[in-house]
Structure 1
Amino acid sequence: MKFLLSFITVLFLFFQSGDLDALRNAYSKANSSNEGAKNFIELADKSSSSDALTKGYKAAAEILEAKVTTEKNKRKSFVKSGVTELESVIKSNPNNVELRLIRMSVQENIPKIVGYSKNLKEDKAYILSNYSKQNTALKTYIKKFAMQSKTMTATEKNSLK
Structure 2
Amino acid sequence: MMQAQNRTEYTNLMLKSENSEVATQQFLTKAKEDFKSTKLPIFGAYIGIGNLFMAKHAGNPFSKLSYFKTGKKFLEKAVSSAPESLEIRFLRYTTQTEMPAFLGYNKNMAEDKIFILDHYKDSKDEVLVEQIKQFLKI
The alignment's TM-score, normalised by the length of structure 2, stands at 0.83
Q: Deviations over 1:34-65 (max 9, x none)?
A: 22x64244223224212221211111110121
Aligned 8 A contact 1:90 1:96 in 2: yes
CA separation of 1:40 and 1:73: change in aligned 2, threshold 3 A: closer
The answer to whether the aligner puts 1:143 opposite 2:128 as a matched pair is no
RMSD over aligned CA atoms reads 2.1
Q: Which moved more, 1:51-60 or 1:115-124?
A: 51-60
Partner of 1:4: none
- What letter corresponds to residue 93 of structure 1 in structure 2? A
Could you tell me which runs of 5 or more consecutive residues in structure 2 were left unpaired when the two chains were aligned: none
Q: Secondary structure at the match of 1:49?
A: helix
State the 1:130 CA deviation.
0.2
Q: By how many angstroms is 1:24 displaced?
A: 1.9
Distance 1:20 1:40 in 2: 16
1:42 and 2:26 correspond: yes
Cα distance in 2 for residues equivalent to 1:90 and 1:82 = 12
5+ residue gaps, structure 1: 1-13, 147-156
Partner in structure 2 of residue 105 of structure 1: 94
Counterpart-to-counterpart distance in 2, 1:46 and 1:142: 23
Q: Which residue of 1 aligns with 2:14?
A: 27
CA contact (8 A) 1:30 1:40 kept: yes
Could you say which structure has the larger radius of gyration? Answer: 1
* Contact 1:23–1:44 (CA under 8 A) maintained in structure 2: no
Q: 1:5 is matched with which residue? A: none
Q: 2:82 aligns to what?
A: 93
Structure number with greater CO (CA < 8 Å, separation at least 6) is 2
The share of aligned pairs that are identical, in percent, is 27
Is contact 1:23–1:40 with CA below 8 Å preserved after alignment? no
